[in-house]
Amino acid sequence: MGQYLPEKINVKGESFRIYLTQEEIQQRIKQIGKQLSTKFQDKRPIFIGVLNGSYIFLADLMRYVNIPCEVDFMKLSSYGDEKVSSGQVHDLKQIDADIQDRHVIIVEDIVDTGLSMKYLVEKLKQHQPASLTVVTLLHKAESTQHDVQIDFTAFKIPNLFVLGYGLDFAQEGRNLGQIYIQTAGEDS
């Protein structure tokens, strides 16, 4: 049995179609992995994955990084089961590692309004890392309202809801092997 790659998908009454294929995603992540390997050569960076959405991206990205590195996780929640941000960020899990004087690479699934990333960067800066680099798989640039630092963006996307490849809609869809976009107003 192969991966879960339907052409179209319906989740909780909403329709989605393929937006980024497995091949497109892997090619782009490979490039970023290579750039990070060069940038952090001899620096033993620590990747901090933002749960839950980034777990698949992070797992693939780290396997394209060919230098010694570590990993830890944080968990934030701002969406609940809705498709729009609640406007509040909750801290659900802190990092365990001591990141003082370490080179930290934050790995996020998507930057939408930018609220979560702003919160995260400010929070991690308090630990006095040697450097802080932000990597996001997706960026909804049109909807970003907060002034956020993003160093590597795999894909800029329009302001529509997406799911798959780790991203969910009310906890569903994370197991899809590629990224799907809402067919708002399109014939589905």
- Concatenated DSSP letters of 141-155: GGG--S----SEEEE
Nearer to ligand IMP, 35 or 85 (CB): 85
Site for ligand IMP contains 113 (CB under 6 A): yes
Examine the residue annotation and report whether 60 is marked as an active-site residue of this protein: no
Q: Which residues neighbour 91 within 8 Å (Cβ) at sequence distance 6 or greater? A: 74, 75, 76, 123
- The binding track of 33-72 with respect to ligand IMP, each residue x by CB under 6 A or -, is --------------------x-------------------
* 118 backbone dihedrals φ, ψ, rounded to 5°: -60, -45
Nearer to ligand IMP, 67 or 151 (CB): 151
Q: How far apart are CA 18 and CA 171, in angstroms?
A: 19
Confirm if 78 and 89 have CB atoms less than 8 A apart: yes
Rg value, the chain, Cα: 16
Site for ligand IMP contains 78 (CB under 6 A): yes
- The binding track of 152-181 with respect to ligand IMP, each residue x by CB under 6 A or -, is ---------xxx---x--------------
Positions in the binding site for ligand IMP (CB under 6 A) = 53, 78-79, 85, 108-117, 161-163, 167
